[in-house]
Structure 1
Amino acid sequence: MSWHLYLLSFILIIAGIFHLIKPKAFMRIMPLYLPYRKTLVYLSGLLEITLGILLITMEFKIYVLWCIILLLILFFPVHVHMIINKKAGLNLPKSVLIFRFFLQFILIYWVYQYL
């Protein structure tokens, strides 16, 4: 397995852990129209951890990679919300928020390369 996939797995697991230990930070960036925001934060964290672990096992590699792509796509509304809502943007410069939005495309492309 490529070291890139280990890196991706590590990133997913760490991000998932932060969802579980700092849920309020993630709830702040979620669009207000989403119901059960705290539950969604915990679920997305658990999903990131699970996908990170499954990616290492490589048993279901193709399915895991497609799930990661889907998860990254599902995070687009969060990034848009952060750009248009000053409070959700965590006082980060608009340029950083826009970079994070476009970074999602780069991450999706990165994951897609391993299909």
Structure 2
Amino acid sequence: MLAGALAALLATSGTIHLVRPRVYEPLIPRRLGSPRAWVVGSGVAELGCAAALALPRTRRAGAVATAALLVGVFPGNVQMALDAHPGARSWARKPAVAWGRLPLQVPLVAAACAVARDTSARVSG
């Protein structure tokens, strides 16, 4: 059930990244180059992780990849919080929302790790 919830969350977020990339582009530091490439790439990665989590055979790898992805995008979430203000171009225009999202990464990474452990125990047991 936890794997399904993570898969749904990632599928939703990945889809938004691909359908509305402009929403996320302001989060990408300019020094990284084209924001669109990073946004689309992270959306594809989220969809890939969602698909891997949804299938029992690839669930462990998907969970490990999900944990890594969530850690990898954390700097973007920090940037969003730093840039948040009522006139911001990103979807998190309220600082409280942007800063409030940051601690949510911890339970999401923990959930991905739990799915990886649970799947690992089932496969070897």
Q: Same fold by TM-score, threshold 0.5 exceeded?
A: yes
Mapped partners of 2:49, 2:92: distance in 1: 30
Aligned partner of residue 92 in structure 1, secondary structure: coil
Structure with the larger helix share: 2
Structure 1 unpaired stretches of 5+ = none
How much has 1:113 moved relative to structure 2? 1.4
1:50-69 correspondence to structure 2 within 5 Å: 50-69=48-67
Structure 2 unpaired stretches of 5+ = 117-125
Computed over aligned residues only, the root mean square deviation of the Cα atoms, in angstroms, reads: 1.7
What residue in structure 2 maps to residue 9 of structure 1? 7
Give the TM-score normalised by the residue count of structure 1: 0.86
What residue in structure 1 maps to residue 94 of structure 2? 93
Greater Cα radius of gyration, structure 1 or 2: 2
Inter-CA distance 61–91: structure 2 relative to 1 (3 Å threshold): closer
Tell me which amino acid in the other structure corresponds to 2:81. Answer: I
Give the TM-score normalised by the residue count of structure 2: 0.80
Name the % identity.
21
Aligned partner of residue 11 in structure 1, secondary structure: helix
1:4-43 correspondence to structure 2 within 5 Å: 4-43=2-41
